[in-house]
């Protein structure tokens, strides 16, 4: 005898079967009926388990007496008796395998799921390219090295720099000499020994060399020399005036790409190294068109929280703030690109990693939502276990609504204030569906 028949007979016996059950029970499913009609009627009967009210369950009788009290039969009306030792630890008792909560209305957080890829934060990444052509004569760092701002990364031998340095040196010497000459002419003129025109000539020449010195110093800056570099050039030491240009780290960070090798000819525009500050990374993800409206109701400036996980650390949720939503949609994927900044001081996130996550959007809307773990399903019918009385829990069919970050919205079947089983609900399910679990020997 199948479950439905047993249930129907009991319900009929205690006079509580109505509606669909009464139809099935009054001979309408006689041979010759259309199979579709019969199937529909049986489907309605199946739906009864989980739809019974507490009163109906209390009235149900089985061949052994009260169904509720009967350890063999109570599962047929969707009731499970839970050993108190399994319930959540209250005052030091119990193991807490099974937990319950009181259902309540609350504001919701809509979670929009995204998939994405970790990339370096390009706002803190530098592609190093020399400003002048030259041959690399020394490389000071390897890929992966952590460098501080100002550290010398590599050194370049450059004819152009050598020329610029000697121009600058010549102009500096000439400016100095012409300055002394001007002072001498000025003093001669003041002593009425020299002519005024000689003094003015000397002054003009001095000014010309000063201008030329300024221009050649400017050129050294353009080529990448700092004020410090220039100050260190010692005119009395010929070797300090080499054409070697030290290329320094413009920011602190990690060398994440390196092409520079000794002896290589490099020129402006050619990448030699990529230096990135990996203290934060970007995650580029895509959201579907249908979710865009939800996102645009937020102000990016207020921050939109995002939670992400990567396969490398399945237990870890990385949290960040979305700070960019693309103005256009990607035609190939039909998604809109969004960018999230994630703190990465521990360097666990590596550019190139794929990640999955969700955008959390809190709303003012109040709904009745329950934890996902509380919601069970059997043959397409969703249900939860509600506390009935004492140690008894009743399968209660519900209609599920939208998914939220906190759980699943329940549209009907539950009311605020009801106690439901959350963790451990699957244990009750296996008990309630025991006829299915051991189908072979139950009949
Ligand atoms: Zn029984």
E-strand ranges in 59-186 read 61-62, 65-66, 79-81, 100-102, 105-120, 125-128, 134-139, 146-147, 152-157
Question: Distance from the CA of 427 to the center of ligand 1, in angstroms?
Answer: 21
| Rama region for 137: left / alpha / beta (φ>0; ψ in -120 to 50; rest) | alpha
Cα angle value 382/19/6 (rounded, 5°): 70
Which residues share a beta bridge with 362?
109
Domain 112-121+278-366, what architecture? Beta Barrel (2.40)
- pLDDT band at residue 158, thresholds of 50, 70 and 90? confident
Nearest to 106 by CA among 365, 385, 394, 307: 365
Q: pLDDT by residue (tens digit) across 346-404?
A: 989 998 999 999 898 887 788 999 999 999 999 899 999 999 988 999 999 999 998 88
Instruction: Concatenate the DSSP letters of all residues of 243-276 into one string.
Output: SEEEEE-SSSEEEEEE---TT-EE-TT---EEEE
List, by residue range, all CATH 2.40.30.170 domains of the chain.
112-121+278-366
**Angstrom distances, CA of residue 22 to CA of 52, 180, 370:** 15, 121, 34
Q: pLDDT by residue (tens digit) across 129-141?
A: 888 888 999 999 9
Question: Distance from the CA of 3 to the center of ligand 1, in angstroms?
Answer: 13
Question: Distance from the CA of 83 to the center of ligand 1, in angstroms?
Answer: 19
Question: Distance from the CA of 64 to the center of ligand 1, in angstroms?
Answer: 4
Question: Distance from the CA of 62 to the center of ligand 1, in angstroms?
Answer: 5
Which carries the bigger pLDDT value, residue 40 or residue 136?
A: 136
Residue 23 pLDDT greater than 50, yes or no: no
Question: Distance from the CA of 76 to the center of ligand 1, in angstroms?
Answer: 9
Question: Distance from the CA of 69 to the center of ligand 1, in angstroms?
Answer: 8
Cα angle value 112/116/118 (rounded, 5°): 135
Which carries the bigger pLDDT value, residue 416 or residue 24?
A: 416
The Cα–Cα gap between 60 and 66 comes to 6
**Angstrom distances, CA of residue 293 to CA of 215, 334, 367:** 56, 15, 20
Question: Distance from the CA of 13 to the center of ligand 1, in angstroms?
Answer: 14
Quote the pLDDT of residue 83. Answer: 86
Question: Distance from the CA of 56 to the center of ligand 1, in angstroms?
Answer: 16
Question: Distance from the CA of 63 to the center of ligand 1, in angstroms?
Answer: 5
Question: Distance from the CA of 18 to the center of ligand 1, in angstroms?
Answer: 22
The Cα–Cα gap between 408 and 374 comes to 9
Quote the pLDDT of residue 160. Answer: 86
The answer to whether residues 26 and 17 touch, using CB atoms and an 8 Å cutoff, is: no
List, by residue range, all CATH 2.40.50.100 domains of the chain.
124-276
The answer to whether residues 112 and 358 touch, using CB atoms and an 8 Å cutoff, is: yes
Which carries the bigger pLDDT value, residue 263 or residue 2?
A: 263
Q: pLDDT by residue (tens digit) across 222-245?
A: 887 878 878 777 666 555 556 788
Question: Distance from the CA of 75 to the center of ligand 1, in angstroms?
Answer: 10
Average pLDDT of the segment spanning 68-79: 89
Q: pLDDT by residue (tens digit) across 242-298?
A: 678 888 899 999 998 998 889 989 988 888 999 999 999 999 999 998 888 888 888
- pLDDT band at residue 91, thresholds of 50, 70 and 90? low
Which residues share a beta bridge with 156?
136, 245
Question: Distance from the CA of 73 to the center of ligand 1, in angstroms?
Answer: 4
Which stretches within 261-331 are classed as H helix? 289-296
- Alpha-carbon dihedral 101, 106, 109, 113, rounded to 10 degrees: 50
Which are the contacts of 183, defined by CB distance < 8 A and separation ≥ 6? Answer: none
Name the phi and psi angles at 400, rounded to 5.
-85, 145
Which stretches within 268-328 are classed as H helix? 289-296
Residue 301 pLDDT greater than 80, yes or no: no
Tokens, residue 317? 């949720």
Question: Distance from the CA of 15 to the center of ligand 1, in angstroms?
Answer: 17
Q: Please give the class, per CATH, of domain 124-276.
A: mainly beta
Question: Distance from the CA of 66 to the center of ligand 1, in angstroms?
Answer: 7
Q: What is the CA radius of gyration of the chain?
A: 41
The Cα–Cα gap between 355 and 311 comes to 7
E-strand ranges in 289-442 read 304-309, 318-330, 335-343, 354-370, 376-378, 381-389, 392-397, 399-403, 408-412, 419-421
User: How big, in percent rounded to 5, are the helix, strand and coil portions of the chain?
Assistant: 35, 35, 35
Quote the pLDDT of residue 15. Answer: 45
Q: For the chain, how far is it from start to end, CA to CA, in angstroms? A: 6
Question: Distance from the CA of 42 to the center of ligand 1, in angstroms?
Answer: 23
Question: Distance from the CA of 61 to the center of ligand 1, in angstroms?
Answer: 8
- Altogether, the residues listed in the chain come to a count of 443
């Amino acid at each position: 005898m199948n479950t439905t028949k047993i249930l129907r007979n009991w319900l009929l016996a205690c006079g509580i079967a109505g509606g669909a059950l009464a139809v099935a029970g009054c001979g309408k499913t006689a041979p010759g009926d259309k199979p579709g009609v019969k199937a529909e009627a049986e489907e309605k009967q199946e739906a009864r388990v989980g739809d019974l009210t507490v009163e109906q369950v209390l009235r149900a009788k089985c061949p052994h007496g009260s169904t509720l009290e009967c350890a063999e039969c109570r599962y047929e009306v969707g009731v499970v008796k839970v050993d108190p030792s399994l319930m959540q630890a209250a005052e030091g008792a119990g193991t807490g395998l099974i937990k319950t909560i009181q259902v309540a209305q609350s504001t919701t957080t809509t979670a929009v799921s995204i998939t994405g890829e970790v990339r370096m934060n390009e706002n803190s990444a530098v592609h190093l390219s020399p400003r002048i052509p030259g041959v690399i004569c020394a490389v000071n760092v390897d890929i992966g090295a952590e460098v501080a701002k100002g550290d010398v990364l590599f050194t370049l031998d450059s004819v152009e720099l050598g020329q610029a340095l000697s121009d600058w040196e010549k102009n500096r010497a000439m400016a100095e000499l012409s300055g002394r000459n001007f002072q001498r002419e000025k003093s001669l003129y003041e002593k009425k020994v020299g002519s005024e025109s000689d003094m003015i000539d000397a002054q003009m020449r001095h000014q010309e060399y000063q201008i030329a010195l300024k221009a050649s110093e400017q050129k050294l800056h353009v080529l990448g020399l700092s004020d410090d570099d220039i100050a260190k050039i010692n005119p009395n030491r010929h070797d300090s005036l080499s054409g070697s240009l030290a290329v320094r780290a413009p920011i602190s960070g990690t060398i994440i790409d390196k092409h520079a090798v000794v002896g290589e000819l490099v020129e402006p525009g050619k990448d030699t190294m990529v230096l990135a500050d990996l203290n934060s990374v970007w995650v580029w993800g895509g959201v579907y068109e249908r979710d865009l409206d939800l996102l645009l109701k937020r102000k990016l400036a207020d921050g939109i929280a995002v939670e992400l996980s990567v396969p490398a650390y399945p237990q870890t949720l990385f949290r960040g703030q979305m700070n960019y939503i693309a103005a256009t949609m990607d035609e190939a994927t039909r998604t809109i690109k969004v960018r999230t900044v994630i703190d990465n001081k521990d360097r666990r996130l590596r550019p190139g990693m794929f990640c999955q996550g969700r955008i959390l959007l809190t709303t003012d809307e109040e709904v009745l939502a329950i934890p996902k773990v509380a919601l069970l399903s059997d043959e397409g019918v969703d249900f939860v276990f509600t506390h009935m009385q004492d140690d008894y829990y009743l399968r209660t069919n519900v209609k599920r609504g939208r998914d939220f970050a906190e759980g699943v919205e329940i549209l009907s079947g539950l009311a605020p204030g009801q106690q439901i089983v959350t963790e451990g609900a699957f244990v009750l399910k296996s008990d309630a569906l025991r006829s299915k679990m051991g189908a072979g020997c139950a009949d």
